[in-house]
Chains A and B, each alone.
Chain A
Amino acid sequence: MDHTDTDATPTGAHGAPEDPKAYVEQVMAEIAEEVRLRRSSGDLPPKLERELDELFLAHSPVAGRGGDLGEALRMVDAATFIDPVVPVESERAAGQFVKKGMRSLLLWYVGWVTHQMSQSASAVSRALHIVDERLTELERRVEVQRVPDAGVIEFPSLHGPDSWWVEPAVASLAKAPGRVLHAACGDGWLVRRIVAAGGDAYGVDPRPRQVDVPGSGPSDLREAAVVDHLRAVAPAALGGIVLSATVEGMAGGERAQLLAAVGTRLAPGGTFVVHSVSRTSWDAADAPAETDLAPGRPLRPEAWCRLLEDSGYQAEARQGPGGNDFLVVATRDAVTAPYAPSGR
């Protein structure tokens, strides 16, 4: 590869800025546009990123073969017996005879050692099987008391491009130091709004078929739950995170997990935006049926501000018309320790 500097002088191609820094900025903008076009043309379907991640994780010890205890135990069982009779094949003519002779000479010794090792491994394997049986029983009992995930709960009158909170939310993200993620993005209406305002945004939504709506325009939308997605994102990689129709029905544990993931993925100087319906809307007769089934209830804006300030954010809440909903905008200068629920 030729690495000379002969082409270093900016010559100013037709329509391109003369200033090198301006040219690099233009290239970055063109790259982002190229990606949007590629995605909208179907070259790279939104689900592909997740499928590649899953393909990789299938090999990992956490999510792959070792992730299932039963499978891991079968691997342990298979490796428990240590064979003292070593293979004697050889590429050299005399090698096989030499190896065979050595094996005969050493078998009494190696066999004695491997017998004890196999016995030891069998004892460990048996103990693991007992643990497995007890864990299975515990899981069965815990399952009865399981708290389900809240899922996405949309209020049609409060979640859409004409909602009052969209404008202040987009404005608060104007200086986001990186990409903006919108959780429960639906067909991407807010993502497109942020992009139209000059931002760089993408969305995730766990609901099947939400993100592949034909004609929804060139947006980077992926089918994924927000917590799962955030765990796959590099630390401090996001300039902004918007949660809408996401947090209202969450139980404390699920909310804590989500805030912990947000805390580590948001870049220093990033903006965290939460839109939530109020308890009045939540309890109204025309609220979606999912509100009854959700494990939690909406927090009040004061509680959100307290929660976020305890995690190092500067938070500000704004009430919506009629007290139906509210918006919380939080910023944080530095990445701090992940959110940990306090005793309050």
Chain B
Amino acid sequence: MSAAAGRPVAIHQFIATLNPHDATGTHALKLREALRAAGWRSEIFAEAIHDDLAAEAHKHWTYPEHAAEGDVAVYQFTTSSAVAGYLAERGLPLILDFHNYTGPEYFAGWEPQSVRRATAAAEELARLAPRARLGLAKSPFSEATLRRAGCRHITVVPVLADYGRVTASPDPRVAAELARLRAAGGADILFVGRVVPSKRQHDLVKALWAYRRLYDPRARLHLVGGTASYEYSKSLHGFIADLGLAAAVRVTGEVSDAALAAHFEVADVYLSLSAHEGFGVPLVEAMVAGVPVVTRGAGAVADTVADAALVLAAGDHAYVAAALHRACTDERLRGILRQAGRLRSRRIAADAAPRIVGAIERAVAEAA
């Protein structure tokens, strides 16, 4: 029951896939919590639901069993999904919570299936954006994408994330393993993200190769995150082996929150050379954890980090290696980046949920 509207209205969320460890899944769960705390009836409907979250959501096609007059749909847009067509056909008042999507060009030559899906995502966005009453963009970069797609009313609000997970108790087994590696000397460079072409983990490997050759022959790179591209992952492993870096690059796959915390605890620097980011939650996590950030300013990255990171104009390995060297050894720079990072992350996280709920409530009130 919404006091603001004066009649029963539910604000339900729709999402392609509800996963426990990804940014969109976490955002959806936290938004539901915030909506319920504000007095709204709110459920999550998904095309696919991770087993661990089976009790948290419903299949999207069961929505009619929960439907009521005056319902509003918030669609968590990240990729192509049957949910988009479902919402377009039902004609519910729509709020587009836009996390951006990775364009087909990033998968071309790697994953034909992903190319098709990304192309379909662009078409679905073009279909839904003009009829959305409100677009919630995660960055000015995404705002521009949403506007080009035809969305007329847009508010920029941050992602709701569990940033505290990176400063929680680290997994003791992982921490011990990382400590053992660290005892051999050399810097620990961290990147967190799915192993996919758009994240350009192979550029990180090139940068490590140059950094070891020029500055720190014992440096290590930790690539944390599951893979969504078998071909890219396979090529990455072959590349690592060709460069003789098999012992220096750890590709961990998906890890628990506690294992993630162990990686942030040991990292000297967080390095991202991603070619596309709709927001970049791990960048903020690095800032929360007090790890200096070196990054390419692609997509929304420059908006997310603002002045709290070394934002590189180019991604070639020599340039990145030199930046890594400064970020790992210049204590004054490290101090500045840590302090700026903590301030920036606090600013991003501050009142995020009330701001989003407020924006949604205003849109609902205007529509009523």
Interface residues of A (CB under 8 A from B): 1, 3-11, 13, 16, 20-21, 23-24, 27-28, 30-32, 34-35, 38-39, 43-44, 49, 52, 55-56, 58-64, 178-179, 200, 202, 220, 234-237, 239, 264, 334
For the complex, what is the distance from the CA of A308 to the CA of B295, rounded to whole Å? 32
Check: B227 CB closer than 8 A to any chain A CB.
no
B336 & A234 in contact (Cβ 8 Å cutoff): no
Contacts of B336 in A (CB 8 A): 8, 10, 20, 23-24
For the complex, what is the distance from the CA of A35 to the CA of B209, rounded to whole Å? 15
B188 & A1 in contact (Cβ 8 Å cutoff): yes
Within the complex, the shortest CB–CB distance from B315 to chain A, in Å, comes to 6
B290 & A59 in contact (Cβ 8 Å cutoff): no
Chain A residue, CB-CB nearest to B109: A62
- The one of B110, B290, B310 that contacts A5, using a Cβ cutoff of 8 Å: B290
Within the complex, the shortest CB–CB distance from A241 to chain B, in Å, comes to 13
Check: B342 CB closer than 8 A to any chain A CB.
yes
Contacts of B298 in A (CB 8 A): 234-237
For the complex, what is the distance from the CA of A258 to the CA of B243, rounded to whole Å? 32
Within the complex, the shortest CB–CB distance from B252 to chain A, in Å, comes to 17
* B104-151, CB < 8 A from A: 105, 109-110, 144
Q: Which among A1, A21, A35, A236 has the highest number of chain B CB atoms within 10 Å?
A: A1
Contacts of A200 in B (CB 8 A): 313-314
User: Which segment, of B41-49, B76-84, B323-331, faces chain A?
Assistant: B323-331
Consensus secondary structure, chain B interface: helix
For the complex, what is the distance from the CA of A55 to the CA of B337, rounded to whole Å? 34
B338 & A5 in contact (Cβ 8 Å cutoff): yes
For the complex, what is the distance from the CA of A27 to the CA of B312, rounded to whole Å? 11
Given contacts A43-B214, A237-B314, contact A60 B319 (CB under 8 A): no
Question: B305-320: contact bitstring with A at CB < 8 Å (1 yes, 0 no)?
Answer: 0010010011111110
Given contacts A1-B267, A38-B214, A237-B314, contact A64 B200 (CB under 8 A): no
Give 10 CB contacts A-B under 8 Å: A1-B188, A7-B334, A24-B310, A35-B319, A38-B318, A56-B202, A60-B110, A234-B200, A237-B298, A237-B314
Check: B19 CB closer than 8 A to any chain A CB.
no
Within the complex, the shortest CB–CB distance from B246 to chain A, in Å, comes to 14
Within the complex, the shortest CB–CB distance from A42 to chain B, in Å, comes to 12
Consensus secondary structure, chain A interface: loop
For the complex, what is the distance from the CA of A179 to the CA of B313, rounded to whole Å? 6
For the complex, what is the distance from the CA of A34 to the CA of B326, rounded to whole Å? 11
Contacts of B105 in A (CB 8 A): 235, 264
B310 & A27 in contact (Cβ 8 Å cutoff): yes
For the complex, what is the distance from the CA of A56 to the CA of B245, rounded to whole Å? 13
For the complex, what is the distance from the CA of A27 to the CA of B296, rounded to whole Å? 16
A234 & B243 in contact (Cβ 8 Å cutoff): no
For the complex, what is the distance from the CA of A59 to the CA of B336, rounded to whole Å? 40
Q: Which among A10, A52, A202 has the highest number of chain B CB atoms within 10 Å?
A: A52
B323 & A31 in contact (Cβ 8 Å cutoff): yes
Q: Apart from A24-B337, A56-B206, what are 10 other A-B pairs with CB-CB below 8 Å?
A: A1-B265, A1-B267, A23-B336, A31-B310, A38-B322, A59-B236, A234-B200, A234-B315, A235-B276, A237-B313
* B182-206, CB < 8 A from A: 188, 200, 202, 206
Chain A residue, CB-CB nearest to B242: A55
For the complex, what is the distance from the CA of A20 to the CA of B202, rounded to whole Å? 32
A62 & B110 in contact (Cβ 8 Å cutoff): yes
Check: B73 CB closer than 8 A to any chain A CB.
no
A27 & B316 in contact (Cβ 8 Å cutoff): no
Contacts of A11 in B (CB 8 A): 332
For the complex, what is the distance from the CA of A20 to the CA of B338, rounded to whole Å? 12
B315 & A237 in contact (Cβ 8 Å cutoff): yes
For the complex, what is the distance from the CA of A60 to the CA of B242, rounded to whole Å? 13
For the complex, what is the distance from the CA of A237 to the CA of B296, rounded to whole Å? 9
When A and B form their complex, which 9 residue pairs have the shortest distance between CB atoms, in order from nearest? A3-B290, A62-B109, A59-B235, A7-B335, A59-B238, A8-B335, A8-B339, A234-B275, A20-B336
Within the complex, the shortest CB–CB distance from B205 to chain A, in Å, comes to 8
Contacts of B188 in A (CB 8 A): 1
Within the complex, the shortest CB–CB distance from A279 to chain B, in Å, comes to 35
Question: B269-299: contact bitstring with A at CB < 8 Å (1 yes, 0 no)?
Answer: 0000001100000000000011100001010
- The one of B109, B206, B322 that contacts A52, using a Cβ cutoff of 8 Å: B206
Within the complex, the shortest CB–CB distance from B342 to chain A, in Å, comes to 7
For the complex, what is the distance from the CA of A28 to the CA of B319, rounded to whole Å? 10
A234 & B210 in contact (Cβ 8 Å cutoff): no
Check: B268 CB closer than 8 A to any chain A CB.
yes
Check: B340 CB closer than 8 A to any chain A CB.
yes
Within the complex, the shortest CB–CB distance from A56 to chain B, in Å, comes to 5
